């Protein structure tokens, strides 16, 4: 018996990905994901990293949020949007999403080979305070949280909104863990001075 891949595709590409203009949000995230995974080979050698069990404190809410965030989750549960934006509103939120993920790439370029998907200490690691790192200490998380929340609001289903909140919480938790790790690894004086100058995730906040 042959497997019908069309059914698998229909499940994967369902929900808000089938309706324009929210479909545009899926295209934006897929393009970001493909480019991000492709660039994952651009990183230096790891000297030390947070253990897997400890990292579950931020990984679990991110994974749970991602499951809820995928377009087919609301379709499987038979959810309807809590509100429906007009085309102009969705396009505006798509621009916010695009701005958020563009911010992540600006940060990724400045971070260079020090980037990692885990909390790590790379060889020759030092404090980066150029580009978006002059505005916030964790600009990749700032951009992702902005894009996720904008997408959740645009789609308007409970699963997507809850998923975006869980992912954002996981990013915030990861940032807090990085603060402790980097202060210990890079030195309280060097990283502490940076923390006193620059807010953690939200730009322009007192710190």
Low-confidence ranges of the chain (pLDDT < 50): 1, 8
Residue extents of the structural domains in the chain: 22-36+46-197
Residue among 205, 207, 185 nearest 196 (CA): 207
Residue among 27, 6, 8, 5 nearest 16 (CA): 27
> Which tokens in the block code for residue 59?
């990984």
pLDDT of residue 43: 74
pLDDT of residue 10: 55
pLDDT of residue 207: 58
- Distance from the first to the final alpha carbon of the chain: 62
pTM (predicted TM-score): 0.89
Detail the DSSP E strand segments found in 13-128: 46-49, 120-122
> Which tokens in the block code for residue 51?
């253990």
pLDDT of residue 5: 52
pLDDT of residue 202: 92
Residue among 63, 75, 62, 65 nearest 22 (CA): 75
Q: How many CB atoms lie within 10 A of CB 126?
A: 11
Q: Give the distance from CA 57 to its chain's centroid.
A: 16
pLDDT of residue 167: 97
pLDDT of residue 87: 93
Considering the domain 22-36+46-197 in this protein, what is its CATH number?
Answer: 1.20.120.1630
Spatial separation of the C-alpha atoms in residues 207 and 200, rounded to whole Å: 8
């Amino acid at each position: 018996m042959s497997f019908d891949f069309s059914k698998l595709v229909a499940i994967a590409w369902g929900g808000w990905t089938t309706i324009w203009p929210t479909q545009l949000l899926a295209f934006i995230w897929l393009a970001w994901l493909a480019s991000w995974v492709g660039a994952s080979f651009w990183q230096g050698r790891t000297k030390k990293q947070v253990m897997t069990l400890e990292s579950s404190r931020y990984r679990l809410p991110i994974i749970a949020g991602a499951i809820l965030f995928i377009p087919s989750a609301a379709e499987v549960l038979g959810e309807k949007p809590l509100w429906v934006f007009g085309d102009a509103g969705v396009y505006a939120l798509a621009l916010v999403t695009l701005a958020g993920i563009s911010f992540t790439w600006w940060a990724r370029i400045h971070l260079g080979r020090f980037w990692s998907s885990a909390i790590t200490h790379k060889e020759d690691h030092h404090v980066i305070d150029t580009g978006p790192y002059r505005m916030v200490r964790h600009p990749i998380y700032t951009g992702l949280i902005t894009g996720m929340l904008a997408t959740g609001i645009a789609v308007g289903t409970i699963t997507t909104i809850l998923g975006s909140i869980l992912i954002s919480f996981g990013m915030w938790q990861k940032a807090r863990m990085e603060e402790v790790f980097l202060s210990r690894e890079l030195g309280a004086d060097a990283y502490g001075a940076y923390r006193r100058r620059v807010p953690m995730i939200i730009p322009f906040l007192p710190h």
